[in-house]
Structure 1
Amino acid sequence: MSGKPSAEMHDALSLKGRTGLRRILDAGGYSLMGLQAAYRGEAAFRQLLLLNVLLLPLACLVDVTRSERLLLMLVPLLSLIVELLNSAIEATVDRISLSIHPLSKQAKDMGSAAQFIALLMIGLTWALILI
């Protein structure tokens, strides 16, 4: 194997984009596009966003310690992250093929299970801190 990058590697590197501040600005733009795509195309993301809009201000109003408040705020936000990753898995699987395949189903089910656990974390955290 030679020390020169292959044509495929060169193409992959060229897709990476710029470096420095331009790269950070581009990444921020891609992140906003991802949030916009999730909001427009994923009902579950919109529902979790509504849950966060309700729980985050409520976390600021309840009489708890700062550490407890932090947990009450971070756990719902974690559910948004899990939903974004779950939606990305689903989009990737669907991009590969819309046909039913056991591995495709398994990947989608695992993403759904991750979100289920994130929702359990919200319920348990809020229940244990407030009760």
Structure 2
Amino acid sequence: MGANTSPSEKPRGIIRIIKATGYSWAGLKAAYHHEAAIRQEVVLLAAALVVLLWLQLPLTESLMMFGVIVLVIIVELLNSAIEAVVDRVGEERHELSGRAKDIGSAAVFVSLLLAGVVWLATLWHHFGMPLIQSYT
């Protein structure tokens, strides 16, 4: 450290990036270890990747379909963080704690619905019957 910097100053540059990456990796490991939903969604992500490689759809559609599964995991991570904080605050039932957990759960549900719609619409587009058939 330079002469004008305090030891309590937050790291900057590459050191900050390295530390942030370490914290993120620790968060991913903790979520995988403590949250069954995360483990299930990682299995879903792996299965989605296998299916997408097998289907050989156009790249943009494959990325979109893969991305919505990643989005589900992101929302689940945020929901798990909310639940951990609420549980840390206290074990007693409180209306706001319950609401926070329910809203987090609703966010996961909405992301799952979005993933389902994207997958169904894309698969329908490529493999389903046309919505409007031409009789000419």
Sort the TM-score into its range (normalised by shorter chain): 0.7 to 0.9
How far apart in 1 are the matches of 2:96 and 2:102?
10
Deviation readout 1:62-108 (Å, 9 max, x if unpaired): 14222211111100000110010000000011111111100000000
**Root mean square deviation of aligned Cα:** 1.5
Matching of residue 66 in structure 1 with residue 63 in structure 2 = no
Paired AA for residue 36 in structure 1: K
Q: Equivalent residue for 2:109?
A: 116
Per-residue deviation at 1:17? Answer: 3.2
Q: 1:96 to 1:62 in 2, by over 3 A?
A: same
Per-residue deviation at 1:16? Answer: 7.4
How far apart in 1 are the matches of 2:101 and 2:17?
31
SS at match of 1:17: coil
Gaps of 5+ in 1: 1-13
Runs (4 or more) in structure 1 with deviation over 4 Å come to none
SS at match of 1:98: coil
Matching of residue 53 in structure 1 with residue 46 in structure 2 = yes
How far apart in 1 are the matches of 2:114 and 2:16?
35
Gaps of 5+ in 2: 1-6, 125-136
Q: Equivalent residue for 1:106?
A: 99
How far apart in 2 are the matches of 1:49 and 1:81?
11
How far apart in 1 are the matches of 2:9 and 2:95?
33
Per-residue deviation at 1:15? Answer: 7.4
How far apart in 1 are the matches of 2:112 and 2:16?
34
Paired AA for residue 88 in structure 1: A
Q: 1:129 to 1:21 in 2, by over 3 A?
A: same
Paired AA for residue 27 in structure 1: A
Paired AA for residue 48 in structure 1: E
Paired AA for residue 17 in structure 1: K
How far apart in 1 are the matches of 2:28 and 2:56?
32
Structure with greater Cα Rg: 2
- The structure that is helix-richer by fraction is 1
